[in-house]
Amino acid sequence: MSQRRGNPWIVMVTLCIGFFMTILDTTIVNIAIPDILEDLDATISEVLWVMSAYILVVAVLVITAGRLGDIVGPRKVFIAGMILFTVASALCGAAMEPWQLIAARALQGIGAALITPQTLTILTGVFPPEKRGLPSAIWGITAGVAGLAGPTLGGLLVAEGNWRWVFYVNVPLGLVTIAMAVALIPDVRPDKRLRLDITGVVLASAALGAITYGLLEGDRYGWGTITSFLSIPVVIAAGLVLLVVFLATQARVNDPLMPLGIFKDRGFSLMSFVIVAVSFGMMGLSLTLTIYLQQVLGLSALQAGLTLAPTALAMMFSFPVVGFLIDKIGGKYVLICGLALYPVSLALIGNMARTDSGQWSLLGPLILAGISQAAAFAPTVTMAMQDVRTEFAGAASGAFNAIRQLGFLIAVAAMGAVLQSRLTSELHGEAERQAAQLPGEFREGFVDAVTSAGGSIDAGAGDVRLPAGASGQLAQQMREIAQSVFDQAFVGALRFTLLACAAVVVVACLLSFAAKRPDPAKAPTAEEELALM
């Protein structure tokens, strides 16, 4: 084993397993929500915090954790994070009360925050700049596949066991990764002695905490008042003000938590926007299709997860081809092709979605989405980190991951708002059109009832309160029409939302033309990189 210590490719495998686990736990829990509600007798609010606690803690701490790796060594921080994440996963699975599960999820989030930035930092340390292309691409693919695999793997675990296995599955994986990390990962800390900027930690944590909380809880409070004078806009605005103060202080300290110089690098800044844009596409697709497959097509959670699985599989299996193309034509042009094809796949899915579609009717565009995501993800990290100096690797990795995490949250909030707004509009128009089938005296009441029931994106005909006097055969007819209205309206809202996502990705595609192309003379081929083994 000692002969393999420091082997960059084995180190990369170890890091990617840990990174995969942290991303997987962002989405795998969603599929288990109904079972958690029933088994723990939890409220909707408590279950939402089971998901939110993890995301909130990761977003708040990831920048600090990145800099901490620069100071005490990324190997130590990665191992500490893996131990904490594994223990917290076991506690999540053993939880008997909602508050216990929420607390364990927050602890799991601390572990994930410690792990995530160290993965890029260590990769930057064990691979020289001219040989980082392939490992960085694998890192990016790992993030994409993990996010897409969550619903499918979660559905299988819940179907074959129970919701607790969504967390218990991390324990054996975590133990193996800890053993590999202790035995195989070298110490790659920079020679320069650094100090932790405590003021920066407080300001960054408060700023990211406020912004993340506002984005997570905005929909719950209707983007309005939380209590008394406190409202979601006030919380987000306070977070933005603190963020400005944080950035201002970073320009004046000797050892900043986040060196602002990293944003002067064109590649880092552009790729930060690209990763946010890709998050919009991924979340828009995941959000709309998860509801569409279950609410409109009537598939079970497991069936819906399996329907989406081809996207993750296509992404994974297309990677060797993407890697070959990066070697031949450069990461910039592979990225542009991926960002150009992804909107096409989103538009095709929106155009092909019907209320009577079969389970596999969207297979073609879902595979195209996976291939295009592979092409978009693979070069992004390489192009972001290629010119970052070693002593700034942890800070840059923390910043990049914080931007990715906030991009994910902004995408969830924005696409959820777009979908809800469009659904409300579509419901009213569709209800008026189909109300023509009803007796005249019931039409207006039916339209009002259907429109009022559309208060959430997962509402359905069962939420409609029929007009007074509707009973028997007429009531049954109204319910059938209401279901048709909801199905048609959601498909219309899905199309609009996916087109909005596609527009964001198109902007990223156009901006990517401004990215620098790495010097081909310095870029190794795939064979040369594999020769490092």
61 CA to centre of own chain = 17
Helix or strand or coil: residue 231? strand
Rounded CA-CA distance 361/241 in Å is 47
Rounded CA-CA distance 143/381 in Å is 11
The confidence score (pLDDT) of residue 260 equals 79
CA distances from 63 to 201, 211, 405 (A): 8, 14, 11
The confidence score (pLDDT) of residue 469 equals 62
The confidence score (pLDDT) of residue 521 equals 42
The confidence score (pLDDT) of residue 157 equals 85
Nearest 5°: phi and psi at 413? -65, -45
The pair of three-digit structure tokens given for residue 374, joined into one six-digit string? 């592979």
Question: CB-based contacts of 228: which residues, under 8 Å, 6+ apart?
Answer: none
Contact 111, 392 (CB under 8 A): no
The confidence score (pLDDT) of residue 524 equals 40
Question: CB-based contacts of 310: which residues, under 8 Å, 6+ apart?
Answer: 363, 366, 367, 370
Residue 386 half-sphere exposure, CB side, CA atoms within 13 Å? 26
Q: How many CB atoms lie within 10 A of CB 277?
A: 25
Rounded CA-CA distance 418/455 in Å is 13
The confidence score (pLDDT) of residue 91 equals 96
Q: Which residues in the chain come in under a pLDDT of 70?
A: 1-6, 44-45, 129-130, 133, 189-192, 388, 390-394, 453-471, 517-533
Rounded CA-CA distance 143/138 in Å is 9
* Secondary structure letter of residue 197 according to DSSP: -
Cα angle, residue 473 at apex, residues 470 and 475 outer, rounded to 5°: 35
The pair of three-digit structure tokens given for residue 267, joined into one six-digit string? 């590649």
The residue to which tokens 């994440």 are assigned: 85
Of 55, 96, 135, 72, residue with least CA distance to 530: 135
Query: Is the pTM higher than 0.95?
Result: no
Rounded CA-CA distance 338/343 in Å is 9
The pair of three-digit structure tokens given for residue 91, joined into one six-digit string? 């506690």
The confidence score (pLDDT) of residue 133 equals 67
